[in-house]
Amino acid sequence: MNWLSWNQSKCMVVFFVETIRMGLDKMVVGSLKKFFHKPKSLSDIKDTAYIVVDTNVLLAAYQWKEVTLNEVLDTLNSLSMANRLKIPAQVFEEFIDQRPKKVVEIIQKIDKEMNSKLQRPSSLLSTVPLIEMLDDSNDYLELEKQYFEKYDLYRKKLGTLTKKLGDFLNSDPVLDGMQELLTNSYFKLDLDKVKDIEQEAKQRAQQKLPPLSGGDSSKKENAFGDYYIWRHILSLDNDVIFVTADKKDDWVLKDHHGNILSPRRELVEEFFEVSNGKTFTIVSPKEFVALYKPDMDSTVSKDLLKVNMEITGTVIFFRNLFNKYDPAGVYSLTLLEDEYDSEIADLLEILPKVDSVDMLVIKLYDIIVSYFDEGTAGSIDVYIDMAKEIWKFRKIVLGYTDKQLSFLS
């Protein structure tokens, strides 16, 4: 080989090496982009993004009042008609599987928490034999008769209610109301994408990568359900708003009040890479409806706020406190631990803005009045001791993590 040929060969080798190096540099730079990705705001994508609904949102329909269900379905139907609502096959299958269980759960709750606690009291004559000696004894006995008649009727009606709910297993008006949007918005992964998905999920769980970072590790069934849903989301070539009542650390980052701050950054970055620059974000059911119906009724707002309320140390602390003072007198009648959950949700929302015990007394009173009435709420003075106790732990409640707070319960 002469000098010229050798030099040309050397130049070609250098050229190819440099080309490969530049290509690798571009790949490295490209892979770093996700770390600098700034997701678009909700207001920027609300009119164009796909809306993906989680299983727990569909199942929550069995917890809502009719007005709330109608408001949510109206919103979902509008998005479905615009071809922007997406129901992953995994969500659909989970919903169909769990729907009957949800109906049975409601029936069992009626029997366990209502029917079984209804105790017919002893008669007045057996408790106070001398009552007939009183001039107005007939008034008492007549009222007792009316009470027993209403009591018997109520128990009978609870039995009828249980039977009607049982009919939901085969003829469900909630499912009927969802049929069209579930059918029109259903989508599933291509077969080639499903082939290795379970193996991927196992590897991801071992590496504790979101959304399989450990939150569902104890589940015996459907332990990888979150990843199947995530794979469906990754297949969408558009910005995505994921509506879920789930607050597990697998999906979201939260503040010390348990409020969602953002999806896990790993999820945001993975979606950015797979979708070539699109935005992924997560909202609660209440935030979702408010996004498209900012003037929604306060009843709907409160109903959505308590959906799948996370049972944290904070919630347990406030349940104990509300049940202890029982401001509306309902806990003593039902003995249901979650009797005041709606009121607690309202309180937790405003507590950071309350700046004095006096203001807290007024806010507590207003919350009870909003759910009942002034007569049931009683005198505002009743709330002073309750407010003082809440104020005593206010900084702890607002400053501790849920795990640290649990000792208060």
Distance in angstroms (rounded) separating the CA atoms of residues 275 and 111? 49
Residue 271 has a pLDDT of 93
The chain-wide mean pLDDT, for the chain, equals 81
Position 406 pLDDT exceeds 80: no
Confidence of residue 185 (pLDDT cuts 50, 70, 90): very high
Residue 374 has a pLDDT of 85
Question: Would strands 240-243 and 252-254 be described as parallel, antiparallel, or unpaired?
Answer: unpaired
pLDDT tens-place string over residues 56-111: 899 989 888 888 899 999 999 999 999 999 999 999 999 999 999 888 888 887 87
Distance in angstroms (rounded) separating the CA atoms of residues 384 and 162? 41
Position 52 pLDDT exceeds 90: yes
The percent of residues above 70 in pLDDT, for the chain, comes to 80
Residue 7 has a pLDDT of 55
Of 407, 389, 343, 406, nearest in space to 370 by CA: 343
Residues 351, 394 contacting (CB under 8 angstroms) = yes
Residues 226, 251 contacting (CB under 8 angstroms) = yes
Residue 120 has a pLDDT of 80
3-state secondary structure of 328: coil
Distance in angstroms (rounded) separating the CA atoms of residues 317 and 108? 26
Position 366 pLDDT exceeds 80: yes
Position 146 pLDDT exceeds 80: yes
**Which class for 193: exposed (0-12), middle (13-18), buried (19 or more C-beta within 10 A)?**
middle
